[in-house]
Amino acid sequence: MEISGKIIECLPLKSGQSSNGEWRKQEYVLQTDGQYPKKVCFIVWGEKVEQFAIQQGESVEVSVDLESREYNGRWYTDVKAWKVTRNTSSEERVYSISDEMGDPNSSAMLNGDDIPF
């Protein structure tokens, strides 16, 4: 799923320790365009925080996965970003999973596919 809009807030970086090791996440608030703009808070995990380098005021398109889980009778939903596209005046920059794989010339990036295989 893709969401487009402007980053209106960058929330503080959070980190901690779990049984799987150290973790980091940062949340951002995006405001959609249109007659009835909506605000969406999404999460960026781990190394992607630095890789995406999202700044307040940027116009971006964010590809996200939605996941809900139940805890003590209540449901919680995460909006996790896995790809960020920003439009600049001279070029469009895309960051995705294939960047983490170290292959900037992968067929997924060249063809614009969302799946890197």
pLDDT tens string 35-90: 999 999 999 999 999 999 999 999 999 999 999 999 999 999 999 999 999 876 44
Taking the CB of residue 21, how many other CB atoms lie within 10 A of it?
Answer: 6
User: pTM value?
Assistant: 0.72
Residue % of the chain over a pLDDT of 90? 68
- With bands split at pLDDT 50, 70 and 90, how would you rate the model's confidence at 94? low
The token pair that represents 106 in the structure block? 């992968």
Helix (H, G, I), strand (E, B) or coil at 49: helix
CATH of 2-111, one of 3.40.50.2000, 2.40.50.140, 1.10.4160.10, 1.10.10.1110: 2.40.50.140
Residue 31's CB is within 10 A of a number of other CB atoms, namely 14
